[in-house]
Structure 1
Amino acid sequence: MRILYVAIMVALLMTPAAEALAERYVRFNRLQLSDPVLSVTSSELKPVSAGDQVVIANTIHNNHTERVSFFLIVEVRDADGFTTNLNWINGNVDAGKDIQIGVSWMPAKAGQYTLDTFALESITDPVALSQIAESRVDIA
């Protein structure tokens, strides 16, 4: 009975659907994102206030052996969980390398915000290339 079970499991693992799932898992681990941070565009060192122009920055590391193209999505949510800003950017990162990438944001009001970033294969092939990186920031 155990041999039959093993034979069925091996047959299932060799199906095109299982191969496609394995390929998607491999693509999921291609990129590693740092938690997003705010970079103030002015030279003053002060807390970020509503109306300040800032950059939401990430470092992206390519864990793959080839250059990877990506579609990075940056979502900003307020303390109530509502999306207040949604940005995206396309890019490429060479094998084993890191790049810094950022998008502009101007918080409209004071409060706590959650910054989520994640990378997809493309907008037309929305396969995840990374886990979600998340940070919380306070805006004065």
Structure 2
Amino acid sequence: MIRRFLIIVIMLGITVLIPAHAASQLETVEISGARLSNTSGASLGDHINIGQQAQISANIKNNLDQSQEFVYIYQVKDEAGFVIELAWITGLLSPDQSFNTGLSWNPDTGGAYTVEIFVWDSLIDRNALDNFETFEVIVS
């Protein structure tokens, strides 16, 4: 009887004190390498010309062993902080899949801009799958 009691206490102690590890929502997909690139994927640096087509690109990787739906979103803010461009694409990442994604941006006004890239689970639920990435762009 005492032996059973001790086994139960030990099992409960292990269950309570050593939690199972599960990937948090922000660890499910990883964003890296946010950049401006041309249609061939080559980096354009942080300076482009008015009317020059650029891809706002990033690498995303599914860190799960199951498929993950995602929405890749970018927004471009002007010097005053106003969003002047917003675009997104949806997709499905296979387990452990890495994917280089990008959407076109064709600036029509010069200035300094901030690009923010987000990866969410969906446009409806809007749960971030990683912290957003940001970079600066000069258009002239």
Q: TM-score, normalised by structure 2?
A: 0.74
Secondary structure class of the residue paired with 1:126: coil
Structure 1 residue identity aligned to 2:66? E
The structure with the largest alpha-carbon Rg is: 2
Structure 1 residue identity aligned to 2:96? G
Aligned to 1:30: 28
Contact (CA 8 Å) 1:40, 1:48: kept in 2 or not?
A: no
Identity %: 31
In the alignment, the residues of structure 2 paired with residue 135 and residue 72 of structure 1 have an alpha-carbon distance, to the nearest angstrom, of 16
What does the per-residue CA deviation read over 1:26-51, in whole Å, with 9 as the maximum and x for residues that have no partner?
Answer: 222101111421112489x8951011
Secondary structure class of the residue paired with 2:24: helix
Structure with bigger helix share is: 1
Aligned to 1:134: 134
What does the per-residue CA deviation read over 1:83-112, in whole Å, with 9 as the maximum and x for residues that have no partner?
Answer: 010001001222222101111111111111
Contact (CA 8 Å) 2:57, 2:103: kept in 1 or not?
A: yes
Q: Which runs of 5+ in 2 are unaligned?
A: 1-15, 17-21
Q: Which runs of 5+ in 1 are unaligned?
A: 1-9, 11-22
Contact (CA 8 Å) 1:62, 1:96: kept in 2 or not?
A: yes
Aligned residues: 118
Runs of 4+ displaced beyond 3 Å = none
Contact (CA 8 Å) 2:48, 2:137: kept in 1 or not?
A: no
In the alignment, the residues of structure 2 paired with residue 122 and residue 136 of structure 1 have an alpha-carbon distance, to the nearest angstrom, of 26
